[in-house]
Amino acid sequence: MFLRLREEYPFLVFENYTIKLAEDVLSLTFKFNISDKYSFEPQLTFPLKNKFLKSRLSDIDIRNLVFHIGMIELISYWKACCCPEIIIKPHLLDKEQINWWKKLYFNGLGEFFYLNGIKTNQESFVKITSESTDRLKSQHFDLDDSVIVPIGGGKDSIVSLALLNESHFTVTPLILNANPARRNSILVSGIPAAQTIEIQRTIHPQLLELNNLGFLNGHTPFSAVLAFISLLASVVYDRKYIALSNESSANESTIINTNINHQYSKSFEFEQDLRKYVNDYISTEINYFSFLRPLNELQIARLFSKNKAHFSTFRSCNVGSKTNEWCGKCPKCLFTFIILSPFIEEKELEIIFGSNLLDNSAFLTIFDQLIGTTPTKPFECVGTYDDINVALLLKLKSTSSENLPKLLEYYVQTKVYTSYKNFNSENILNRLNPDHNLTSEFLSLINAERI
């Protein structure tokens, strides 16, 4: 399929983009086509709630920021046919930029390649050609010291929002494609709706039609899409800091002994690459970093457990996102239940998830993947093997051995449990990952809340 599609559809073209500034909205449209046979026009809209924003946009050039959003958006359309060549027409990319984008595309599509059985490498999977002579330059922007916090509706961004909202920083939540969980995260936090940025992103329906026709489909680096959209938001809304909620646990590969990582665009490696790219080619004023990078999933779960007001509204389940519920059947549901189980009472967790997921033997295959019995973790945003196994050890300590739920009963009989049972949980609960990009001000907020 991969080879046949590449032969039939030899190129994807990034034709151009348009920027439309109306009274109360900034609209962006990107134009791509696959081998002059299929055309796509995905869109983004940014609300402009006051006159300051419109006057600000009339005084600055945002083409560089918009162009780079197009560069990450195109990968969702490229993957349908995996065209051997990508042709960039709007602006010139130098050799270093082309290599940077190839690395992001290749690693960000690692799961896609793996699940579709595609054998390729970073050098040969695509050729990127930049046809324009118009080179965009890095720009200077006068930004204030406020913080944009992208909100996903799960526990991680809630922890970021809670800690930063109690600091001296002015916090601006950002939602990409609003849903109840994301809006409720902000509502419960007490931040006025007028202070929130709600950006709308649309996928062109032609891509969905190709998916239905059996063209290639799969995971793309969504967090990288969010990153470049956040960069533009930083400039449009006059905010210097973009504080993501990606933790140290995102660095662990999904498949052991490979570079295939479902969370690649949440990893520290990508964060480092992006920060350098932004400084070199976009602006030195924007500070993109992950606020939770010093922490692991277990530490974040402990911090989240202090925010009881969010228990009934937070959601991390992708399957249930459209209906604003926990499906109670997927890896993300089980992982979230496990990671919270040492810190939230079992009855409270049963209210949140609808049942005791650790007492459900139907989860056995997923459970094995999570604890490390198999060489592949679920292709979801889940914690490391250490995070998960230490959470289970802590849960075991607070659970009667005579009344263990089915998965814990199974767990104590595994070789994984044997290898972890003497693990010092304090090592992971008190660990501070040194690989991060927090300034001393932000790091002090993390240190103040760690137990």
What's the pLDDT tens digit per position in 361-393?
Answer: 999 999 999 999 999 999 999 999 999 999 999
Nearest residue to 390 via CA among 369, 405, 410, 370: 370
Confidence of residue 22 (pLDDT cuts 50, 70, 90): confident
| pLDDT number for residue 310 | 97
Residue 71: is it exposed, middle or buried by C-beta count within 10 angstroms (0-12/13-18/19+)?
A: buried
Helices marked H in 282-345 — which ranges?
297-304, 331-340
Which pTM value belongs to this model?
0.96
Same domain, 306 and 405: yes
Same domain, 153 and 229: yes
Residue 451 has pLDDT above 50, yes or no: no
Residue 51 has pLDDT above 80, yes or no: no
**Cβ neighbours around 140 below 10 Å, total:** 9
Confidence of residue 55 (pLDDT cuts 50, 70, 90): confident
What's the pLDDT tens digit per position in 257-282?
Answer: 899 999 999 999 999 999 999 999 99
In the numeric block, which tokens belong to residue 344?
């939230």
Same domain, 254 and 110: yes
Residue 61 has pLDDT above 70, yes or no: yes
Residue 314 has pLDDT above 50, yes or no: yes
Distances (CA, A) of 183 to 166, 187, 193: 19, 6, 8
Asked whether residue 434 is assigned to any structural domain, the reply reads no
* Neighbouring-strand partners of residue 38: 34
Same domain, 354 and 250: no
Nearest residue to 215 via CA among 207, 223, 204, 203: 207
Same domain, 265 and 249: yes
Q: Give the angle subtended at the CA of 44 by the CAs of 42 and 50, to the nearest 5°.
A: 160
Same domain, 215 and 309: no
Q: How far apart are CA 128 and CA 93, in angstroms?
A: 9
For the chain, what is the mean pLDDT? Answer: 95
Same domain, 351 and 268: no
Give the domain-ending residue among 242, 266, 290: 290
What residue numbers bound the domain in which 225 lies?
2-290
> Is the Cβ–Cβ distance between 262 and 381 less than 8 Å?
yes
Same domain, 357 and 388: yes
Asked whether residue 436 is assigned to any structural domain, the reply reads no
Detail the DSSP E strand segments found in 197-308. Answer: 197-202, 239-244, 287-290
Residue 294 has pLDDT above 60, yes or no: yes
Domain count, the chain: 2
Q: For residue 53, what is the enclosing H or E element?
A: helix 51-59
What's the pLDDT tens digit per position in 321-365?
Answer: 889 999 999 999 999 999 999 999 999 999 999 999 999 999 999
Same domain, 284 and 269: yes
Nearest residue to 445 via CA among 170, 166, 102: 166
